[in-house]
């Protein structure tokens, strides 16, 4: 067993599974996808630590445990179409693409968008697109999505992405401000009635969110 294979196995069983991420298809996906291919070269030795690795411009990769919890929460199926807000290095994008049918990811920072596209191409991920755009000014390319994932935090819950969910769709997002943020899952039933659950507490980078207080939905 190579050093990187051993480190990846340790990440899966000592970090991700230890944080109660249990779906076999999610754990198998982590085994297939080399995280070291998505981290900056200077951080390659720390690729399998449970670290928020810096990407530049004040941005960080989500830790492996957070990614595991997100994937478990939204439970991607091979027929699902996914919208991701905040591409980062493309690692979560790739994870979603290996579990779902198609991923469309929005990234506001040009350098990150370019690097993510290159990482996804090098990893052979052909069912994920990265669009360089401001998600809060973006015009949707399709009326409804099965899964929507926001990878950065919002100060308060905002319903604009919930409105893009298809029946039985799932939305994952982080809300709050440091040091008190929580990961939330919003799901819709066949009549698009909302159900919301708080899953865990954490701290992540905020999304660029230039809105006024009267646009918040409480």
The pLDDT tens digits of the residues spanning 162-216 come to 999 999 999 999 999 999 999 999 999 988 789 999 999 999 999 987 654 344 3
Contacts with 18 (C-beta within 8 Å, 6 or more apart), sequence order = none
Determine the Cα–Cα distance for residues 130 and 172; give it in Å rounded to an integer: 19
The pLDDT tens digits of the residues spanning 26-68 come to 999 999 999 999 999 999 999 999 999 999 999 999 999 999 9
Number of residues in the chain: 218
Q: What is the CA radius of gyration of the chain?
A: 16
Class of domain 3-215: alpha beta
pLDDT range class, residue 217, cuts 50, 70, 90: very low
The β-bridge relationship of strands 54-56 and 59-60 is antiparallel
The pLDDT tens digits of the residues spanning 78-89 come to 999 999 999 999
E-state strands within the chain: 54-56, 59-60, 81-85, 102-107, 128-132, 145-154, 165-177, 180-188, 194-202
Token pair 């899964």 is found at 147
Determine the Cα–Cα distance for residues 175 and 94; give it in Å rounded to an integer: 24
pLDDT of residue 32: 95
Q: What's this model's pTM, rounded to 2 decimal places?
A: 0.93
């Amino acid at each position: 067993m190579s050093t990187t294979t051993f480190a990846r196995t340790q990440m899966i069983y000592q970090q991700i599974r230890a944080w109660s991420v249990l779906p076999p298809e999610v754990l198998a996906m982590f085994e297939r996808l080399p995280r070291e291919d998505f981290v900056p070269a200077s951080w390659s030795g720390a690729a399998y630590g449970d670290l928020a690795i810096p990407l530049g411009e004040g941005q960080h990769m989500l830790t492996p445990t957070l990614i595991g919890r997100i994937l478990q929460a939204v439970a991607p199926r091979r027929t699902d179409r996914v919208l991701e807000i905040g591409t980062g290095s493309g690692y979560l994008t790739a994870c979603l693409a290996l579990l779902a049918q198609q991923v469309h990811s929005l990234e506001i920072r040009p350098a990150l968008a370019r690097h993510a596209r290159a990482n996804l191409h090098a990893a052979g991920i052909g069912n994920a697109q990265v669009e360089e755009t401001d998600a809060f000014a973006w015009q949707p390319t399709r009326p409804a999505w099965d899964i929507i994932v926001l990878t950065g935090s919002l100060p308060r819950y905002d319903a604009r992405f919930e409105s893009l969910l298809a029946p039985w769709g799932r939305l994952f997002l982080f809300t709050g401000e440091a040091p008190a943020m929580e990961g939330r899952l919003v799901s819709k039933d066949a009549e698009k009635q909302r159900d919301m659950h708080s899953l865990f507490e954490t701290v992540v980078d905020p999304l660029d969110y230039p809105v006024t207080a009267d646009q918040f939905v409480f």
